[in-house]
Chains A and B, each alone.
Chain A
Amino acid sequence: MYKRAILLLLFFGLPFPLLGQKVDVREELLPNGMRLLMVERHDTPTVSCGWVAKVGSVNESPGITGISHLFEHMMFKGTKTIGTKGYEKDRDILARQDAVRAEMEREYSKLREQLRRGEISGSIYDPENATPRLKELKAQLEKLYAEEKENIVKDELDQIYTREGASGLNAFTTEDQTVYFVTVPANKLELWFWLESDRLANPVFREFYSERDVVREERRLRVESTPLGKFEEQFNAMFWQSTPYHHPVIGWPADVESITRAQAEAYFATYYAPNNITAVLVGDFDPEKALELAKRYFGRLPRGQVAPPEVISEEVPQVAEKRFLAEAETNPEVQIRFHAVPFLHRDMYALQLAADLLSRRTGRLYKSLVEGKKVAVGEPYASFRPMKYAGYFEVGAEVKEGVEPAAVEGALLAELERLAKEPVEERELQKVKNQQLANSFRRLQSNFFLMLQLALYDSFGDWRFINEAPAKVQAVTAQDIQRVASRTFTRENRNVAIYTRKAGTAEDPELAALPAELRGMVKQQLQQLLTINDADRLGQALAQMQQMMGRVPPQMKPAFDYVLRKMEERLAQLQREKKEE
């Protein structure tokens, strides 16, 4: 009987396509190695167009970090035809700029030496440190910029697209890819082929040195003048040790200052060859005609002479927990990050579902930290971010007033441990699978977003992910989740960031009353002790400390008492929780 029922189900199909919607992608490979992905959708008379160069900050080495991003800016500076009143003159000015710049580099080299010897301070790029020769050279360069400007047709690429009714021309750089995109009216697809193949075939890196001012402002905007930007950058650098994910996409400032045009040209020849690029079109067009245009326009790009080198650095397994204690202009917050598998890894689906189980108001973190233990405000989060060569899993929460960050840390870890220890119940697992399924449709609603996803997935290794992932998500079992959780959420694999509000604003008055030299030590001690989640262990630690009471030097007594009190409070809390269970 039982078997028969299943058979019936197989015959009649399920009431609903459980495996998501298949996106009908037409894939073509041009003889020069460039891939073209096309999806027809005729609802609106536009085409979302994009192409991805499979290169990002992960392909950079020390000294040229930030080149991928700087390069993205360069791709808007025009070509031999676009953005100039005459290319011959350009070439001459650019060569003279390079010569001046090379001499400046020799001056900077001397300044670096002086900096190492302590003869100057600050940065070699500070105006105070400029040598007379450097000032001369800078003035020469400024003149050349002015001359260059005379010969430039400003932002002509953008002008042409805008005039012809295209919109949203832009690009972004990530660790793994650089994506260029725009939406054009359905009748003007050829314009896109013309302009994009032109900037791949004949780019001219105008304003190569002056554009760095813009990138510096971008860094100030995103990293230096936001409450957490500079901290997140360094937490990331602490997290990754041996892969190039260690350095920020925007690059280390000193590297960005000194990248040369020759380095940029070599980079372009390697990574912007058609064999490293995929173009994606989604919208109202005829794929036959588009293929013909692709052959004519992109077909003229020569295949790269060398294949882009593989990224071979691997992340060394972390051997000890790492902690990052930051005082910032922010409410207290805890983030815990673990090394995890890369995109397309067979375990990524289980890790994604693990993140889903923890997230949202019906997820485990909210129930435990907000409703149960009442230690967090807002909605605690969990996210899994797989990148091309490695990934990470992160949980975090904002600490409730009057609660120690350690209590939040303990509660987050307890939920991760539970994932590893107990199999998740069927209904709970089904809930997150249902969400994944619905989201697999939601992700297809916008042409532009679909184009981006195909570009990203292809650069991660396989655009078919978009059609294959839904079934793989549905196939994940409770055991899979337990397995990936116990492999991922280990102590050695753990990186903890604890943010506290910068001193001067509300602090525990008892703590603030302690002498300044003791405060830091006390905080650190407490943070250690309060991660203990086990009431018995904490009780033992407390007993040990109480035994030491008599031997504490008098000047340390207030601090010692404070720590003891906090431990007692924590122990009481743990015992209460135990009873409730």
Chain B
Amino acid sequence: MAKARWLALAFLAAVEVGVAEIPPRPEMLSFPPLTFEVPKAERFKVNLSQGIAAYVAEDRLLPLVTVQVYFRGGRYLEERGKEGTAQLLGTVWRTGGAGDLDPQALDETLDFLAAQLSTSVGPTYSSVSLNLLKKDLDRGLQLLFDVMLRPRFDEARLAKAKEDLIAELKRRNDDAAEIEQREWQRLVYGDDYWLNRLPTKASVEAIGRQDLQALHRRIVNPANCVVAVAGDVDRQEMVRKLKGLLDQWKVKGESVPPVPQPTHQAKPGVYLVHKADVNQGRVSLGHLGAKRPLAEEFAITVANDVLGGGGFTAWMMSRIRSDEGLAYSAYSSYNIGEYFPGTFRASFQSKSSTCARAAFLTLDLVGKLRRGEVTEQELVTSKNSFIETFPRNFESKLRTVQLYAQDDLAGRPHAYWLTYREQIRRVDRQAVKQAAEKLIKPEEFVILVVGNVDEILQGHPDFPEIQLAKLGPLTRLPLRDPLTLQPLP
């Protein structure tokens, strides 16, 4: 009897504990299922005048509206000898006044409305964007269209933008990170590729108002245009407003030419840029990457994630940072370009004496990847991460419509998103190995080192056999004059 009561009490206690029990390992937790359906592009899409597509989403959370107008075309269209035109257009398009408003009046009007109106001309595409309170939407849209179609390119504001750009050029060699980025692109894409035709003092000074107008005319054309809208608006009403404004736009459709592709053959080896006053070297290893569509896209994405793309979970962080304490950050990226090939690049920053060691470790890890030594668990972790974080591509209405507009811009089918998770799911260890073998080729690596070269080449006294010279022929690259980009003595 007593025994039975004791048992009953123990049972009750166990039930109580059971309610509030914390399992000893997180793997023992169970989670309710979560399904996420990709919001279909068709739900947002409308055709406006002159074949222009728009993606419009209602988002009533806050009384704000965002309107973005994208255009194919960017820096690759710059004329030779006028490098800097795209960047200046990106600035003066907005700062130079528009329609009936001179620069100061436009600035004052927008600032009083607390509206953010910005223009940008990127490497391959350009945009005009507006974000403002919904109560000012009509006025804002009018200003957006004025800026987009009737910019004034005020001479004084152009002079100011040129002066600022030249001041920016003067900073070119101040930060080792900037030198690294510039020389990396030169090495991989070749000096003559449009990406490496950079502004100099002379080219900036040669740019006039008519150059901005000419580039603006080429880019701002209905044939190149896609619109994305999200915010506290009625969809039908928004579409009506956009149509009304676009109807005034009477231009013959003319598409921009496609982005030129690189033809350069990089010469493998170790390239060194000397910067005396830093105690940490910046190192990048890699070569040209690929352009979409790429059969191995999903396999190489997972492969790169395991190697160095996946943050703390990736091999590079784990080995170079956590194990050896040789760097604060170490990572890799396999960029698949939409318009021209991206690069495969593994990078880290390490004190001068350990740059070589960290470079050897990186190459070791690349070898390991190509030998197919990704474990099943590493594969599962990486794939799960891509699959489970996938909904974040659609985390807001604005992100969603931007994504779909950019699909149109790049010629990427919307279906890409519908099959994305399935494609990742299908990647197995064999596919990872094959993709890595095919697409990451250490024998073709250029290895770029920016820092105190003399110290870096000395290596570390405890590891005399680890020398950068063993990784390929050493080439010293000169620093370049910040204003002319000519090699400095």
Contacts and interface: CB of A to CB of B under 8 A. Distances in A.
B26 interface: yes
Given A162-B381, A441-B62, A185 B388 contact: yes
B321 A214 contact: yes
A121 interface: no
A44 interface: yes
B133 interface: yes
Contacts of B395: 43-44, 46, 447
Interface stretch (B162-170, B245-253, B263-271, B294-302): B162-170
Nearest to A152: B322
Interface residues of B, number: 77
A164 interface: yes
A28 interface: no
B257 interface: no
Interface stretch (B7-15, B233-241, B276-284, B402-410): B276-284
A370 B280 contact: no
B328 A218 contact: yes
Given A210-B325, A331-B171, A225 B133 contact: no
Contacts of A155: 312-313, 317-318, 322
A191 B388 CA distance: 14
Nearest to B29: A190
A221 B171 contact: no
Given A329-B174, A329-B277, A430 B329 contact: no
A468 B397 CA distance: 28
Interface in A211-231: 211-218, 220-221, 224-227
B112 A431 contact: yes
Contacts of A523: none
A165 B20 CA distance: 25
Contacts of B113: 434
Contacts of B34: 45, 185-187
Contacts of A427: 112
A16 B135 CA distance: 8
B88 to A, nearest CB: 15
A373 B171 CA distance: 24
A398 interface: yes
Contact of B326 (A191, A217, A329, A442): A217
Interface in B445-465: 451, 461
Nearest to B30: A190
Contact of B167 (A160, A296, A331, A447): A331
B61 A43 contact: yes
B136 to A, nearest CB: 9
B175 interface: yes
Contacts of A370: 160
Contacts of B171: 227, 330-331
B279 A296 contact: no
Interface residues of A, number: 81
Contacts of B381: 159, 162-163
A233 interface: no
A320 interface: no
B325 A214 contact: yes
A430 B31 contact: no
Given A154-B318, A158-B311, A46 B31 contact: no
Contacts of B324: 213
B313 A445 contact: no
A183 B389 CA distance: 9
Contacts of A361: 95, 107, 111
B280 to A, nearest CB: 4
Nearest to B63: A441
A349 to B, nearest CB: 17
B398 to A, nearest CB: 8
A330 B174 CA distance: 6
A224 B31 CA distance: 46
Interface in B356-396: 380-382, 384-385, 387-389, 391-392, 394-396
A215 B321 CA distance: 10
A158 B322 CA distance: 12
B487 interface: no
Interface string A549-573: 0000000000000000000000000
B328 A214 contact: yes
A188 interface: yes
A43 B326 CA distance: 42
B132 A444 contact: no
A477 B323 CA distance: 57
A157 to B, nearest CB: 8
Contacts of A81: 24-25
Contacts of B164: 377-378
Interface in B64-110: 64, 95, 104, 107-108
Contacts of B36: 45
Contacts of B391: 44-46, 185
A214 B320 CA distance: 10
B321 to A, nearest CB: 6
A538 interface: no
B129 to A, nearest CB: 13
A261 to B, nearest CB: 17
A427 B112 CA distance: 8
A159 B451 CA distance: 33
Contacts of B170: 331
Interface string A424-465: 000100110011011101101111000000000000000000
B175 A226 contact: yes
Interface string A42-72: 0111100000000000000000000000000
B349 interface: yes
Contacts of B175: 226-227
B388 A297 contact: no
A434 B25 CA distance: 51
A15 B135 contact: yes
Nearest to B278: A225
Interface string B104-128: 1001100111110000000000000
A194 interface: yes
Contacts of A444: 61-62
A203 B233 CA distance: 49
A187 B31 CA distance: 6
Given A43-B61, A330-B171, A438-B132, 15 more contacts: A21-B63, A45-B391, A183-B392, A190-B29, A214-B321, A214-B325, A217-B327, A217-B328, A427-B112, A431-B108, A434-B113, A434-B114, A435-B114, A441-B63, A441-B64
Interface of B: 20, 22-26, 29, 31-34, 36, 61-64, 95, 104, 107-108, 111-115, 131-133, 135, 160, 163-164, 167, 170-171, 173-176, 277-280, 310-313, 317-318, 321-329, 349-351, 380-382, 384-385, 387-389, 391-392, 394-397, 451, 461
16 contacts: A155-B318, A155-B322, A162-B313, A165-B388, A185-B388, A191-B31, A210-B325, A214-B321, A214-B325, A214-B328, A220-B349, A221-B329, A224-B279, A329-B277, A377-B164, A398-B167
* 3 nearest A-B residue pairs (beta carbon): A165-B388, A213-B325, A438-B114
